[in-house]
Structure 1
Amino acid sequence: MSERLRGKRALVTGATSNIGRAIAEAFASEGAHVVVSGRSVERGADVVDGIRARGGRADFVRADLDGSAEASQGLAREAASVLGGGIDILVNNAGIFPGDSTTDTDEKTFDRIYAVNVKAPFFLTAAIAPAMAEAGGGAIINLGSWVARLGFPLGVAYSSSKGAVETLTRAWATEFGPRGVRVNALSPGVVKDLVPGEVDPGEAMMNGTPAGRIGEPRAVAHAAVYLASDEAAFVHGVVLDVDGGRTTAAVIAA
């Protein structure tokens, strides 16, 4: 344990599974006190218990980030209170992925995608970033996606919502960076915990990439630790691809 985040207070949304859980666990292993946030009390308790069993500090705060300013502001207040009065690191990870085509996406689904994926982090950042600035600085990490920049025929509304998040990342970097708050994003490829012996449909999406396989959540978590740490003190407004080369390189079989 290098404790690169020793003494830091972090809030990770959508932290009860997959990438969010891996980030929360990595932050705690690096010395941060982490608020694990999500909708499931049972899964949240499982994450927190695991972190505490390994000697880390974590607490669960339930939140249903439905896109309303009230929900985001409520989470910001409760998380800050649990963490002792402030938040040094915010990870906007919570999101939903209905994999429908354009013609199969109804208005209710479209609105929900943007509520959870765009409005919720927008109002959460609005609630937390100014306090970070007043306290002397902080780091905000948003979760984008490889499908925001590489055309994909399914999950079209989701793809556009992640494009919005990546644009917000650059805008927030200019808005809050001069006040000491660094804002960056991570853009994962196909990332999930695989079941041994099972073939996942996502494997096909990674064909032709340098990695040639699905990524593990901890790969994204390692990148999140870097962006949250002082090692990234001169990094502002970037979207860091952690996608096995999906958006940047093609491997052609001989």
Structure 2
Amino acid sequence: MSGLTALVTGGTAGIGRAVAVQLAQEGAEVIVHGRDAERGASVVAEIEAAGGTARFLQADLADAKDVQRLAEEAGNVDVLINNAGVYKFLPTSEMTEDLFDLHMDLNTKAPYLLVKALAPGMAKRGRGSIVNISTLAAAVTTKGTGMYSASKAALEQLTQIWAAEYAESGVRVNTVAPGPTRTPGTDAMDEATLKAVADTTAMRRIAEPEEVAEAVTFLASHRASYITGAVLEVAGGRPAIG
């Protein structure tokens, strides 16, 4: 991926950080997006210490104007990873309008605005790759995940639409749908809860962020040159009934 510029939203922790590091290892110049400048500097330092190139851009993706500013400051982007997201697990009766708006703004609208701003440039240059990060919960009914699942299901539908719109211009658009993955949130779980989460997968374990990042990096790279419009589950398989 030498000579390519990649923008990774939510690139300061978890899956986003792992993706940023792997893209840099592949030779891409990485723009690490986040809200925390200190964590952003840490990711940039890690990439540079390994011989890669990176810079940090701060933006609030729940603010449409800030999304536009991010796109402008990023400049010509060859690889866009729409990773940033929010999840608040509540039943419908407890979901507020503000939380509804936050899920849709951050998980669906921000990727939409970034693709609108950056994909035309990719198409003009005749190359580009966009990878959206969804969730297994968009396909598997999970209690309490209503708004999170709905916002990500919308993103998966947009993946199909964008793939069709830009295919002839040399721009590929795909989605990775992770299952349970190790995060600061899972690290805070007690052993029994963590085992219950792990047992929802056929492999009986949760993923490491780097395992999900491998799939994202593959789809972003030329190795996936004939893949577009795909939703790739990275979820450890589904256990059989019985």
TM-score of the two chains, using structure 2 as the length reference: 0.94
- Give, in angstroms, the shift of residue 201 of structure 1: 2.9
Q: What is the rounded CA distance, in whole Å, between the counterparts of 1:52 and 1:184 in structure 2?
A: 28
Q: Would the alpha carbon gap of residues 96 and 197 (structure 1) be closer, same or farther in structure 2, given more than 3 Å must change?
A: closer
Q: 1:250 aligns with which of 227, 239, 242?
A: 239
Q: Would the alpha carbon gap of residues 43 and 26 (structure 1) be closer, same or farther in structure 2, given more than 3 Å must change?
A: same
Q: Would the alpha carbon gap of residues 87 and 197 (structure 1) be closer, same or farther in structure 2, given more than 3 Å must change?
A: closer
Cα RMSD of the aligned pairs, angstroms, is: 1.7
- Give, in angstroms, the shift of residue 156 of structure 1: 1.0
Q: 2:229 aligns with which of 234, 237, 240?
A: 237
Amino acid at match of 2:69: G
**Which structure has greater helix proportion?**
2
Aligned match of 1:222? 214
Name segments (4+ residues, structure 1) moved above 4 Å.
193-198
Aligned match of 2:135? 145
Pairs within 5 Å for 1:37-186: 37-68=33-64, 70-80=65-75, 86-186=76-176
Amino acid at match of 1:150: V
Q: What is the rounded CA distance, in whole Å, between the counterparts of 2:189 and 2:95 in structure 1?
A: 33
Q: 1:10 aligns with which of 6, 10, 14?
A: 6
Amino acid at match of 1:235: I
Number of paired residues?
240
Give structure 2 stretches of 5+ with no counterpart: none
Q: Would the alpha carbon gap of residues 186 and 164 (structure 1) be closer, same or farther in structure 2, given more than 3 Å must change?
A: same
Q: Is the 8 A contact 1:190 1:205 kept in 2?
A: yes
Out of 198-207 and 8-17, give the one that drifted further: 198-207
Amino acid at match of 2:225: A
Q: What is the rounded CA distance, in whole Å, between the counterparts of 2:63 and 2:187 in structure 1?
A: 32
Q: Would the alpha carbon gap of residues 226 and 200 (structure 1) be closer, same or farther in structure 2, given more than 3 Å must change?
A: farther
Aligned match of 1:83? none
SS for the counterpart of 1:214 is coil
- Give, in angstroms, the shift of residue 61 of structure 1: 0.5
Q: Is the 8 A contact 1:190 1:202 kept in 2?
A: no
Q: What is the rounded CA distance, in whole Å, between the counterparts of 2:163 and 2:149 in structure 1?
A: 22
Identity %: 43
Q: What is the rounded CA distance, in whole Å, between the counterparts of 1:23 and 1:95 in structure 2?
A: 15
Q: Is the 8 A contact 1:141 1:185 kept in 2?
A: yes
Give structure 1 stretches of 5+ with no counterpart: 81-85
